[in-house]
Structure 1
Amino acid sequence: MAPGSPTAMDRPHFIGIGGAGMSGIAKILAERGARVAGSDARDSPAAEALRGLGVTVHVGHAAGHLADDATCVVVSSAIREDNPELLRAAELSIPVVHRSDALAALMRGLRSIAVAGTHGKTTTTSMLAVALTELALDPAYAIGGDLAGPGTNARHGAGDIFVAEADESDRSFQKYDPDVAVVLNVELDHHANYASMEEIYDSFETFVGKVVPGGTLVINADQPGAVELTARVRDLSTLKVVTYGESGTADVRVHKVTPRGLTSEVTVLLNGKFLTFTVSVPGRHYAHNAVAALAAGVALGIPAHNLASALGKYTGVKRRLQLKGEAAGVQVVDSYAHHPTEMTADLEAMRGAVGDARILVVFQPHLFSRTQELGTEMGQALRLADASVVLDIYPAREDPIPGITSELIIGAARAAGADVTAVHDKDQVAGTVAGMAKPGDLVLTMGAGDVTDLGPQILEHLSS
């Protein structure tokens, strides 16, 4: 499949319209007046929200869902070559557009910030969207998750700023030409698409090289991969580089992060002056994300003190340490973490928030390829929990890999001294966890798959 360029987006058809990235683009196009249609394998709240905007959403994939007068078909890298709607598009000679090309088209003509990195993209993009909205700048934004406040992943704003989450997983972030590029971290992930760190660096270099002349790169001064990328792009004459972090050489230096329960207070040194503001989510890594957002907004000319105050209005993103509820004295929190670095960061954040209380993790590995490459590290991360339940691997778009199961993670966890229970029947998880939990405990459902559905079920069992 060789997706074409987005030449006509007035009657687009989205295959996989309910996905986090796809639904956001569809929403913006609908708000701009396009006649949008699409399909998804299953119904979802995202699909229902799109219907509320007048979008036609079909459940299931069939050639007949594609209207003959569609001006283009929008796909993500997850759509397979044999999809019947994609085959029908070829028969009708309807151009096929990758979602990254569609998003790039939406960003043109606006001052844009593209947020990239192996971890933290959704949170940082969301922080910027909330802060800029709070400052009445009415930004457009496209995010890979729903904001806890507005409850949406995208919006067509009337202002001149567009904030977008830039996905490196399939190299699609190379399509953007941002005024400000943010790189939070650079690590090896997405093993089906990248064979080595060198390929990752090359991909990020291409992304940074697309920043408009005179634009700015905001990049982490602490994370080794980001430091290496900075060294590789320092000589780009048209690029201004702004570093942030705890390093003494950082342009925006994190002076102190003070945990305050499920929030943090962060103090930064910027242009020789100290600036303190509140981040309404726990954990040092989320405080650093807020500092990256601050630096990006300042790069667009927004006063730092105004932006810092507005960042305090951010209340989180669904699935990013989202409190699902409390029952029988047990709190249940949901985490999207699926890479060992993310797992460690979220577990450390929760430990800082709850102190000596027990943390019980329900972990669902995501993708066979990721488990094959990082299963040992995932298991080691679970040693930070007091006890864990590990589910079978969530396959998402992948076919099974012989010999790769969640036992790889369980074995590594037990070798690291972790208390781990394997539960292969997802229907048994809620009851198992409720039986383990005691008043004062915190249960953390963790993973990028449908493990998020278990939070309400665990709460129901605890209440019964």
Structure 2
Amino acid sequence: MSTPAAPAASTPEVRTILDPGPVISSRDWPEGLVRSLHVVRIGGAGMSAVAQLALEAGMSVTGSDSQDGQFIGPLRAQGARIGIGFSADLLAPGTDLVVVSTAVRADNPEVVAARERGIPVIHRAAALSGLLGARQVIAIAGTHGKTSTTAMATLALRGAGEDPAWALGAAVPDLGRNAGFGAEGRPEAGPEGDGYGVVEADESDGSFLAFAPEVLVVTNLEADHLDFHGTAENVTAAFEALTARIPAGGTLIVCSDDKGARALGEMAERSGVAVQRYGTGPDADWRVLEEDAGTTGTSLVLATPHGELRTSLSVVGHHNVLNALGALAAARAAAPEAALPALAAGLEPFTGASRRFDLAGSENGIAVYDDYAHHPREVEAAVAAARGIVRSTGGRVLVVFQPHLFSRTRAFAAEFAGALAGADAAWVMPVYAAREDHDPDVTARTITALAPEGVRALAEGESGASAVADAARPGDVVLMLGAGDIVETTPSVLAALQDAARG
């Protein structure tokens, strides 16, 4: 009997939200003068970055969102007119351009009105690319670590006397705001400006293909956002497509400790792209020789293409050491005349991006950290960073984790279970749906069923605050992990710890 032929492997597909469709009507920033733009869902970290740059470029900015938020007040103070709720009336007469995110749907009344009036609708990545104009773009891509590495690269260039534009998807206290045309903001700066532009390039919807970066950093490349890309192979194809957009003379910088990023670098080299590697292996161009982590920072000895470098960071965790290496390599590739010690000095004071291992508070010797981790590797990295802290306190690592997206929870349940198993105790909250419809078959127990006994599911409406307070003792570290609204639970955990300390 003959053996049936194996099914033919499907060809990987490059998927991107940039292509015109039901929401987006144009792939690129329009030619000609743009004086006024409208930003739908302006309150998000990424969308507010577009609005911030537009305001600094002297444009008139309007916008809308479903609720108020931390980024809306500062934009209003600079002159943006922002409505809460969505309405065609918010689209001002004379609007030249409408900017949307992937979360905006075709039936949004402002999108409908823009199409009726013939106003181009573009994605926020295309808007960022257009606003940065002629600047030399340094793009930071990867499944995780983008925000911190983008901020570090910006600060490194500042340390060497440069004043780059930047845009990223979170608040960074050390930068003062999440986007700008320079440290002080220059209203005269606009698409015709020159210099550097450092951007966080988002792979989740393929929108990073709006950029053609002279320097591209890939921190890691793993399967994620399969709700959009469909397969892991499609995710890789999108990164390969971005690499192909590096112009002649540009540089790809990859973390050689990451299997996916390393493979991308090997592919790029075969295509003639200049590649630099960073990591801990002997073939890394930028390599960690010594790493000494304390409770408030990390001392480093690094091997670089330009000699040995001793420096320190104000953040902890091996993942942040790798982020710093990628940032240094990117800054030096973009500014080859910059002194390496000056670049390193620029990123030394970096204390982290918002919700990236933020110390939310401490009660009775129990430190509570808030972190955006929502992928298994990110959870694993946060637990490892906490483990480094408790080595000196003799404490334990306790985790409250909120899964983000039903599709991600289903796809990575076993990996999440494995990452949480690294904690001494963990509680899993109900799944945060975000942009997805509710799936009753995917719950916290989808993860905990695959985890050891110490990883428990929380019921709907249960925050975990009382469970943490009952379990925690002085010297412990509590991690509040997730990309949803778990940040709103953190104060109740601190309050419960305070009540427990009072008896």
Structure 2-normalised TM-score? 0.88
Equivalent positions of 1:234-313 (< 5 A) are: 234-237=269-272, 239-271=273-305, 273-300=307-334, 301=336, 302-313=338-349
Structure 1-normalised TM-score? 0.95
Pick from 35, 42, 52 the counterpart of residue 67 of structure 2: 42
Q: 1:30·1:36 contact (CA, 8 Å) conserved in 2?
A: yes
- Please tell me whether residue 6 in structure 1 is matched to residue 42 in structure 2: no
Q: Deviations over 1:270-327 (max 9, x none)?
A: 1262111112111111101100001011102122121112221211111000001112
Q: Which residue of 2 aligns with 1:57?
A: 82
Q: Give SS of 1:384's match.
A: coil
- Please tell me whether residue 374 in structure 1 is matched to residue 408 in structure 2: no
CA distance in 2, matches of 1:62, 1:55: 16
Q: Which residue of 1 aligns with 2:261?
A: 226
Q: Which residue of 1 aligns with 2:137?
A: 112
- Please tell me whether residue 168 in structure 1 is matched to residue 206 in structure 2: no
Pick from 201, 212, 216 the counterpart of residue 177 of structure 1: 212
Q: Which residue of 1 aligns with 2:121?
A: 96
- 1:262 deviates by 3.1
Pick from 335, 338, 362 the counterpart of residue 326 of structure 1: 362
Pick from 180, 183, 186 the counterpart of residue 221 of structure 2: 186
Q: Give SS of 1:257's match.
A: strand
Q: Which residue of 2 aligns with 1:450?
A: 485
- 1:459 deviates by 1.7
Q: Which moved more, 1:310-319 or 1:62-71?
A: 62-71
Q: Deviations over 1:416-462 (max 9, x none)?
A: x4342423215x43333233322222211000011012222222232
Q: Give SS of 1:146's match.
A: coil
Pick from 77, 85, 91 the counterpart of residue 66 of structure 1: 91
CA distance in 1, matches of 2:64, 2:468: 36
Q: Deviations over 1:245-290 (max 9, x none)?
A: 1121112222222212231122211126211111211111110110
**Where in structure 1 are there 5+ consecutive unaligned residues?**
none
Q: 1:131·1:314 contact (CA, 8 Å) conserved in 2?
A: no
Q: Which residue of 1 aligns with 2:252?
A: 217
Poorly superposed stretches of 4+, deviation over 3 Å: none
The one-letter code matched in structure 2 to 1:219 is V
Q: Deviations over 1:26-62 (max 9, x none)?
A: 1111111111011111100111121111111111112
Q: 2:383·2:422 contact (CA, 8 Å) conserved in 1?
A: yes
Q: Deviations over 1:56-86 (max 9, x none)?
A: 1111112222123211110011111111111
Equivalent positions of 1:78-157 (< 5 A) are: 78-157=103-182
Pick from 432, 443, 455 the counterpart of residue 394 of structure 1: 432
**Where in structure 2 are there 5+ consecutive unaligned residues?**
1-21, 187-193
**Identity score, percent:** 39
RMSD: 1.6
- Please tell me whether residue 314 in structure 1 is matched to residue 350 in structure 2: yes
Q: Give SS of 1:412's match.
A: coil
The one-letter code matched in structure 1 to 2:294 is R
CA distance in 2, matches of 1:272, 1:79: 46
Q: Which moved more, 1:338-347 or 1:324-333?
A: 324-333
Q: 1:131·1:313 contact (CA, 8 Å) conserved in 2?
A: no
